[in-house]
A and B are shown apart, each in its own frame.
Chain A
């Protein structure tokens, strides 16, 4: 059946010429992800419009990158000889070198031998969730297979598992497992490697440093990740012929730095602005991409710049999502596959002016490195981000610092039930802030980044409305 998907992909920044040139791929992609009727396409259009401002050039540019990454991943087995995945949620300081190497090697060979990306899972989750509204379905497939959240597998892995099971995404040749964010993740990956029959290699990262050590990270841990990553690169070279050069790694680090600095400029602008000039839902596209990077890095950077331009233009013209004077809050997490939460928050006038990884106190940037080796210094910087160093200890300090330095009106602490790194510090953060800033409104809310089945807009609307009123009254009382 021939589907009319022109509007859908145009909305995602892929013009008709690109669609025409990639028609066969698009037809295959949609079929593979079970978008098989015109109703599916039309529903996706409406769903996407409800998630993002699809008239925004910046949003379209970023969606175009994610959509291409998602299509590339879905068709990776058909279009490449060897599929190398670098698991989630990768920091692009680690994976961007892979992307550079993929581009270079395939160009030298004259064909697409390698698919080597650290973006795959994340972009699948965003596109399948926020464009095609299929992430919950993929989670349920995984649950049917016995991979319930109650077994300790987060919804991210459930989406991956569901996608693999249904053939929506390909089984890789090798997966680079990573414990950067969750020590459980590599275990899940190993289990899936056994189930689906793929090779595994680990960028093992000890997540927990001693409490209170931040920003001084354990030099042994830093050295370990640096050496371990080299071992992984060596493994890829020896077994799969995928050889990253020092130039690839350097270029990767440079591109990652460009993404980080461009995004942090936007984050800094928002955190210092009175009023919210862009929906957090739209900005989430940039937020995710600065973390994971990708092969379309020039388009990513252009998308970031377009978003920044829109933000600055909106500030100048006084076009606000939340007007000046709206309560400004820090959020400890962000939804990723379903952004309606942000619209609800903005609807009631809550300006989420800073969130999660966006905030890095000065000490995180200026504290002396534990190593003289530039590469190890880069790895140490990864540890200094919120929640990635000594997990609970650093989050408490970072949130407190954000409240004080950014002069925030409140904090939204999210407890993500099926995520150990995110649910453990939640209550601690609230209690800590209650002691440090007794009059600061802090709300504890359940939310999942990908699984929206238990979190309806009606449920969190009551909480958000009430929290918004508490914030406003508090602001008035302390004025």
Chain B
């Protein structure tokens, strides 16, 4: 069976191609403004890498915030479920997943069979997400890829407010005015992100082994400060941002998620609600 799992997040779109339960190809690209086009492009790219075409696919499952916009998908499953499945497939010993994406973060408690026991998510506030680090990188005129190594080079991380991106930015400006070394500021920012998510996860509770997924898991600084906060080593799957897509592909034969989203309007429904006439 050949399945594609398409994870369309706010920042990036990812597709994993799974054949008979094995990941054979994957790809990642920025989502941009056109969700369905991004999903299609990334799926074609991943298929191309695997040497297949859309016609070869037996199943397509979508996940992520844009999951219902992927009209060529037959099933849309929430990213919580897909992440748990994907990580469990690759690393069955994991019991807690910390996922920090571009615009949200979540902590998921996973059972040995890959099902979700509990979860908590923050999608209201940029603090504790990839966006927080992007904003700060822009202000510091650093490439996002330089942030982690810069943080690790600091011997004295600054103390920075961890609860609000805007306030953290203000604090950063003050620290720079006080001639605080850049690496200390960057380290302070990484500690702030890690603390924010670490505290969020306490609502669910941490059981080892703890895995760290999402694009931000590629940031060595956040990995370091999360390990410091949690006082344990954490596992970073490879590639960390593909776990949702892998999980989606693996759930292709399941009855999870929704299948009746193809007739929904592409633009947000706004204040026009749901017609339930006839459902009773």
Chain A interface category by residue count: 35 or more
Is A469's CB under 8 angstroms from B275's CB? no
In the assembled complex, which residues on chain B have CB atoms less than 8 Å from the CB atom of A54?
277
B263 shortest CB reach to chain A, Å: 13
B55 contacts the other chain (CB 8 A) = no
Is B272's CB under 8 angstroms from A466's CB? no
Known contacts: A466-B119, A473-B115. The answer to whether A459 contacts B124 by CB under 8 A is: yes
In the assembled complex, which residues on chain B have CB atoms less than 8 Å from the CB atom of A469?
77-78, 80-81, 116, 256-257
Known contacts: A348-B258, A462-B121. The answer to whether A55 contacts B115 by CB under 8 A is: no
Residue of B nearest to A133 (CB): B271
Is A279's CB under 8 angstroms from B203's CB? no
Is B279's CB under 8 angstroms from A321's CB? yes
> In chain A between 15 and 61, which residues have their CB closer than 8 angstroms to a CB of chain B?
43, 46-47, 49-56
A375 contacts the other chain (CB 8 A) = no
Contact partner of B269 (CB less than 8 A), chosen from A49, A133, A457, is A457
User: With the chains together, A310 CA to B277 CA distance in Å?
Assistant: 13
A377 contacts the other chain (CB 8 A) = no
Query: Which of B80, B258, B271, B276 has the most chain A CB within a 10 Å cutoff?
Result: B276
Is B273's CB under 8 angstroms from A50's CB? yes
B230 contacts the other chain (CB 8 A) = no
B58 contacts the other chain (CB 8 A) = no
Residue of B nearest to A349 (CB): B258
> In chain B between 51 and 91, which residues have their CB closer than 8 angstroms to a CB of chain A?
65, 77-81
A477 contacts the other chain (CB 8 A) = yes
B208 contacts the other chain (CB 8 A) = no
Residue of A nearest to B83 (CB): A466
Known contacts: A321-B280, A348-B258, A462-B65. The answer to whether A340 contacts B274 by CB under 8 A is: yes
Residue of A nearest to B117 (CB): A470
Known contacts: A462-B79, A470-B115. The answer to whether A51 contacts B273 by CB under 8 A is: yes
Contact partner of B280 (CB less than 8 A), chosen from A47, A278, A466, is A278
Query: Which of A279, A321, A347, A466 has the most chain B CB within a 10 Å cutoff?
Result: A466
Is A465's CB under 8 angstroms from B279's CB? no
Residue of B nearest to A427 (CB): B203
Contact partner of A53 (CB less than 8 A), chosen from B77, B119, B258, B276, is B276
In the assembled complex, which residues on chain B have CB atoms less than 8 Å from the CB atom of A470?
115-119
In the assembled complex, which residues on chain B have CB atoms less than 8 Å from the CB atom of A43?
271
B146 contacts the other chain (CB 8 A) = no
A3 contacts the other chain (CB 8 A) = no
A454 contacts the other chain (CB 8 A) = yes
Residue of A nearest to B261 (CB): A347
B123 contacts the other chain (CB 8 A) = yes
Residue of A nearest to B255 (CB): A472
User: With the chains together, A474 CA to B203 CA distance in Å?
Assistant: 20
In the assembled complex, which residues on chain A have CB atoms less than 8 Å from the CB atom of B77?
465, 469
> In chain B between 135 and 151, which residues have their CB closer than 8 angstroms to a CB of chain A?
none
| Residue contacts A-B, CB under 8 angstroms, 23 given | A47-B272, A47-B273, A49-B273, A49-B275, A49-B277, A52-B276, A53-B279, A56-B280, A133-B271, A277-B280, A278-B280, A314-B280, A347-B274, A442-B118, A457-B269, A459-B123, A462-B65, A465-B77, A465-B258, A466-B116, A466-B119, A470-B118, A473-B115
Inter-chain pairs besides A319-B280, A321-B279, A473-B115, 4 sampled, C-beta below 8 Å: A55-B277, A343-B276, A347-B258, A469-B257
